Amino acid sequence: MTKEEKQRKIVIPGETIVSGDDYLPGDFTKKEHEDIVANRYGLAEVSGRVVRLIPISGVFEPRRGNTVIGRVEDTTFNGWIIDIGGPYSSFLPLAECPRFINKNDISEFAGIGDVMSVKIQSVKKGSIDLTLKSRGLGKLEGGRIIKVNPHKVPRVIGKEGSMINLIKNQTKTEITVGQNGYIWIRGDLDGESKAVDAIGLVVEEAISNGLTEKVEDFLKV
Amino acid sequence: MTYSKRLDGRKFDELRPIKTEIGVIPNADGSALFAFGETVAIAAVYGPKPLHPQHLQNPEKAIVRFNYNMLPFSVSERARPGPSRRSKEIGMVSGNAVSSIIDLTKFPGTVIDVGVLILQANASTRCAGINAAAMALAHAGIVMKEMVSSVSIGKIDDKIVTDITKDEEDYEKGEGATDIPFTLTSRTKQITHLQLDGKIQTGRFKEVYDAAKKACEKILKYQERALKGEKIDENKNSEDKKQVKKK
């Protein structure tokens, strides 16, 4: 593999990424005669023979197993309808809540407008089911919520949580990052604002090198 | 007296200075600005997102809601705000022009909202709107086969001209003015939108198509450059050049 092939480049829909019979179409690409054509806007990556496209913008696409942060939209007799910012609204059944809840008044646990950290149990056509049965899930009280581009979430978390742990430790805040781009922050007032600004910096400069150092310098000031 | 020289001094196949940029509306999932000279359009895309009321949902595919609107201050005489017969019609044709390139099967029962606002108008606003909308859709990460580019070709007297202005639209001498907005796809060069306001000899239509194809290829280059992170403003550049010449 030559050096050139490893490079990533931004492509627009309908653009020919590479041409020739040596290549195979991967995610969000299509083969048209000889050419591998991009099907959406993003970063094209040629690895070996396979050409794939990494999305860099757009709405959150829910997948099974994602931990997300959502706001209660409505309560029903057997669960909660939760807005997680995807193409469909999602449902958290009462049975998926690990602690005892009085069935006659489930808004005692969480009412409209409350924020929860939940996991996606299944994604079916037109509906998403959630669960609370996992570690670290549940209602989030106090603090604030910010929204970032969901495709930048891996950058906010960093390698094995390095970036988010750095921000947490330096600002003395609790932070939960949802895969859907919602981030919950709780701490003292200064810490919270500092963490919001630091996350803003990470999102803004997501592609630059030495980002951890930059954030470190920013947090020291 | 024939129309031998254009009113603003451009060549017959020359576009107005283009200005274009993406990400102009931070709150939207995708957004873009596109301007042909004094015609400025911005577009915002939201979605795919849940669609209510439920009876509007299509269980087989997502739907596109295209909203075109001219701001009150965009024309010299204040435009009455809100939807009008004209803006509804343009919204519909522009929606058809862009929805044919989008893969709508991925999120059935949802809606993709496209809003186009005209900030300043000097003819071919729908073309600027479609160009901005195509860029905003790409920026919003919508799965689409290819891009679209739009341009208005005119027949002023007996000349085929590219990207006409309001003054040219109102030209009355000789054969008068004809306005033909064209939208072409980037890869397959198919027509997704074509309107005709005026008269043209059937034999000359091939010339119009060739002019549109040439102009759309140029426009696509600008759209591509903007989507790859460049901010383009030829208006400023041309002013700079003029100043240099004067000195």
pLDDT string in tens for chain B (247-residue length): 688 889 989 999 999 999 999 999 999 999 999 999 999 999 999 989 999 999 999 999 999 999 999 999 999 999 999 999 999 999 999 999 999 999 999 899 999 999 999 999 999 999 999 999 999 999 999 999 999 999 999 999 999 999 999 999 999 988 999 999 999 999 999 999 999 999 999 999 999 999 999 999 999 999 999 999 889 998 776 555 555 554 4
Whether residue A185 is contained in a domain is answered as: yes
Task: Give chain A positions within 8 Å (CB) of B32.
Answer: none
Q: Which of B182, B205, B191, B86 is nearest to B127 (CA)?
A: B182
In a domain, A149, yes or no: yes
Angle at A88 between CA A86 and CA A94, to 5 degrees: 105
| Residues in chain A within 8 Å Cβ distance of B110 | 87-88
For residue B4, tell me if it sits in a domain.
no
CATH number, domain with residue A87: 2.40.50.140
* Residues from chain B contacting residue A88 (CB–CB below 8 Å): 50, 107, 109-110
Return the H-helix or E-strand segment holding B49.
Answer: strand B39-50
In a domain, A83, yes or no: yes
Task: Return the closest-CA partner of residue B119 out of B50, B41, B49.
Answer: B41
Please check whether residues A78 and A51 belong to one and the same domain: no
- Longest Cα–Cα distance of chain A, Å, equals 65
Residues A74 and A131 in one domain: yes
Residues A76 and A134 in one domain: yes
What CATH number is given to the structural domain containing A36?
A: 2.40.50.100
Q: Is residue B130 part of a domain?
A: yes
How many domains are contained in chain B?
A: 1
Q: Can you tell me the distance from the alpha carbon of B184 to that of A21, in angstroms, rounded to the nearest whole number?
A: 28
C-alpha closest to that of B129 among B109, B107, B108, B151: B151
Tally of helices (H runs) and strands (E runs) in chain A: 5, 16
* A31 and A7 in a common domain: yes
3-state DSSP assignment of residue A161? helix
**Contacting residues of A for B44, CB less than 8 Å apart:** none
Nearest alpha-carbon partner for B128 in B116, B112, B140: B116
- Decide which of A92, A113, A140 is a domain's last residue: A140
Q: A115 and A127 share a domain? A: yes
pLDDT of residue A2: 47
Q: Is the distance from CB of A83 to CB of A71 less than 8 angstroms?
A: yes
Cβ contact A14–B49 (<8 Å): no
Query: Does A90 share its domain with A155?
Result: no
Are the C-beta atoms of residues A37 and B187 closer than 8 Å to each other?
yes
Tell me, yes or no, whether A136 lies in a domain: yes
Rounded to whole angstroms, the Cα distance separating B21 from A159 reads 32
**Claim to verify: residue A182 and residue A125 sit in the same structural domain:** no
Please check whether residue B42 lies inside any domain of the structure. Answer: yes
Domain at A193, CATH number? 3.30.1370.10
Domain count of the fold of chain A: 3
Residue ranges of chain A with per-residue pLDDT less than 50: 1-5
Domain boundary pick from A114, A140, A166: A140
- Residues of chain A with Cβ-Cβ distance to B114 below 8 Å are none
Q: B211: domain CATH number?
A: 3.30.230.70
Whose CA is closest to A113, among A86, A162, A75, A153?
Answer: A75
Is A166 found in the same domain as A135? Answer: no
Q: What is the pLDDT of residue A177?
A: 95
Residue A129: strand, helix, or coil: strand
Residue A183, domain member (yes or no): yes
Query: What's the domain range around B44?
Result: 18-231
Do residues A135 and A94 share a domain?
yes
Domain presence at residue B244: no
Kindly identify which residue of chain A lies nearest to residue B61, measuring between CA atoms.
A126
My answer on whether A131 and A168 are in the same domain is no
For residue range B193-243, list pLDDT tens digits in order: 999 999 999 999 999 999 999 999 999 999 999 999 889 998 776 555 555
Q: What angle do CA A59, A65, A69 make, to 5 degrees?
A: 55
Establish if A31 belongs to a structural domain: yes
CB proximity A58 to B under 8 Å: yes
**Which pLDDT score is estimated for B247?**
45
CB pairs under 8 A between A and B: 76
Q: Is residue A10 part of a domain?
A: yes
Diameter of chain B by CA atoms?
65
Q: Kindly report the nearest CA distance between residue A88 and chain B, in angstroms.
A: 5
Is the same domain home to A48 and A76?
A: no
E strand or H helix at B236: helix B234-246
Residue B125 falls inside a structural domain: yes
Testing the interface with B: which of A10, A41, A61, A152 to mutate, by most B Cβ within 10 A?
A41
Structural domain including A49 reads 3-55
Q: Is position B140 within any domain?
A: yes
Shared domain for A135 and A152, answered yes or no, is no
CA-based nearest distance A89→chain B, Å? 7
**Nearest chain B CA: its distance from A81 CA (Å):** 13
CA distance B145 to A40: 8
In a domain, B115, yes or no: yes
Task: Kindly state whether residue B243 falls inside one of the protein's structural domains.
Answer: no
